[in-house]
Amino acid sequence: MFFASDNSGPVAPQVLDALARANEGHAMGYGDDPLSQQVAEDLRALFEAPEAAVYLVPTGTAANALSLACLCPPYATVFCSPAAHIHEDECNAPEFYTGGAKLTLVGDSDRMTPEALRASIAGEETRGVHGPLRGPVSITQLTERGNVYSMEELRALTGVAKEFGLPVHLDGARFANAAVKLGVTPAEMSWKAGVDICVFGGTKNGLMGVEAVLIFDPAARSSSGAVAQNRLAAEFELRRKRGALLFSKHRYLAAQMAAYLEGDLWRDLAGRANARCDQLVQGLKGLDVTLRTEQHANLLFFDLPRRVHRELHAAGAVYSMWDSLDGPDDSIATARLVCDWSLPPEAVSEFTDLLARSL
């Protein structure tokens, strides 16, 4: 009954196999090896973006912060939800990598609305050099509260950004879970929907620690072995190195991503995680539980009396509390449960059975 995080599960066995296969003989470092080159091609093919620049980094925070640093000068501001990972969980990494840009929080929920986004953008930059200038819009799909934007919602948000000529960053730490839920292709959920730089997460979906960043600017594509000519791509490469995020033994990042792409493993793993979350939602039906996540993929927030939370924890269920566990027995507190690819169906049944008995 381990629902603490999707970074808590093991790595998919295909990934370990790929690491072992990549571990033969010598290879040039820093991405100049054949496997790294091949994976970049495979990512371009998957995203139907033959001219995209493609980079692998080890953490989601790295993927986000580097992307924003390329899009946002230090005297500008990023528009994002107050629940965004870039605001809540990265210890000022975006501020660090951008050289001191600001984050403007849009609305008061995890899901930005076009109206709130438009009002927020319109409210900035009426003060000339007293600034800040308007910078990129950052969208998290799926959100940190577990909601999946529909394609219509996604396009509406990027549409507002385009009204103001602003670029769009997609924090796709759980891109796979969202795309599987929506039944869309990576291209459909990224550049075809108006995204300029997309993070295609792997770490939360069965890899050890690899995220791909795709810069869709036509002709951004970097040649290997030298600094890219395209401004965005060049900035990404130089900022990645300067951020101490360029792996010398790059083939081991590439091997993980190669396994992730082969036979659409990323879809398979995300499908498993989503299925467990569906099972969880089914199990909660008929019970006196208030769901806080409306369009779930593999995360679920819901409310229970603290007495029940305490009993579940005591019985061995591992999950995060969004409110403190301390409080009267009959007071309500919100929990966050995350299903990862490796979670067995039995763990979910055990949890919902336990919960049913406890209520």
285 by Cβ neighbours in 10 Å (0-12 / 13-18 / 19+) ranks as: exposed
Structural contact between residues 297 and 146, judged by C-beta atoms closer than 8 angstroms: yes
Structural contact between residues 166 and 139, judged by C-beta atoms closer than 8 angstroms: no
Closer residue to a copy of itself in complex, CB, 156/337:
337
Closer residue to a copy of itself in complex, CB, 186/202:
202
Selected binder of a copy of itself within 56, 93, 195, 335 (CB under 8 A): 93
Binding mask 3-22 for a copy of itself (x = CB under 8 A): -xx-xxxxx-x--x--xx--
CB of 98 to a copy of itself, least distance (A): 8
As a whole number of angstroms, the distance between CA 39 and CA 37 comes to 6
Question: For residues 31-60, which are near a copy of itself according to CB under 8 A?
Answer: 57-60
Q: Residues 183-190: contacts with CB within 8 Å, 24+ apart?
A: 184/151, 185/48, 186/46, 186/47, 186/48, 187/47, 187/48, 187/49, 188/151, 189/141, 189/151, 189/154, 190/47, 190/214, 190/216
Structural contact between residues 146 and 136, judged by C-beta atoms closer than 8 angstroms: no
Instruction: Give the number of residues written for the chain.
Output: 359
Closer residue to a copy of itself in complex, CB, 94/194:
94
* 37: β partners: none
Closer residue to a copy of itself in complex, CB, 216/341:
341
Instruction: Tell whether residue 65 is a contact of a copy of itself (CB under 8 A).
Output: yes
- Strands of the sheet with 290-291, listed across from one edge: 290-291, 299-305, 332-338, 320-321
Question: For residues 316-345, which are near a copy of itself according to CB under 8 A?
Answer: 318, 340, 342
* H or E, element range at 100: none
Selected binder of a copy of itself within 128, 165, 183, 328 (CB under 8 A): 128
Binding mask 258-297 for a copy of itself (x = CB under 8 A): ----------------------------------------
Closer residue to a copy of itself in complex, CB, 156/253:
253
Instruction: Tell whether residue 107 is a contact of a copy of itself (CB under 8 A).
Output: no
Question: For residues 136-195, which are near a copy of itself according to CB under 8 A?
Answer: none
197-201/211-215 β-pairing? antiparallel
Question: For residues 229-248, which are near a copy of itself according to CB under 8 A?
Answer: 235, 237-248
Please give the backbone phi and psi of residue 204, each rounded to the nearest 5 degrees, phi first: -85, 0
Packing angle of the helix pair 13-22, 251-261 (nearest 10 deg): 140
Instruction: Tell whether residue 127 is a contact of a copy of itself (CB under 8 A).
Output: yes
Question: For residues 208-227, which are near a copy of itself according to CB under 8 A?
Answer: 208-209, 225-227
Question: What is the total count of residues that contact a copy of itself (CB under 8 A)?
Answer: 82
CB of 285 to a copy of itself, least distance (A): 26
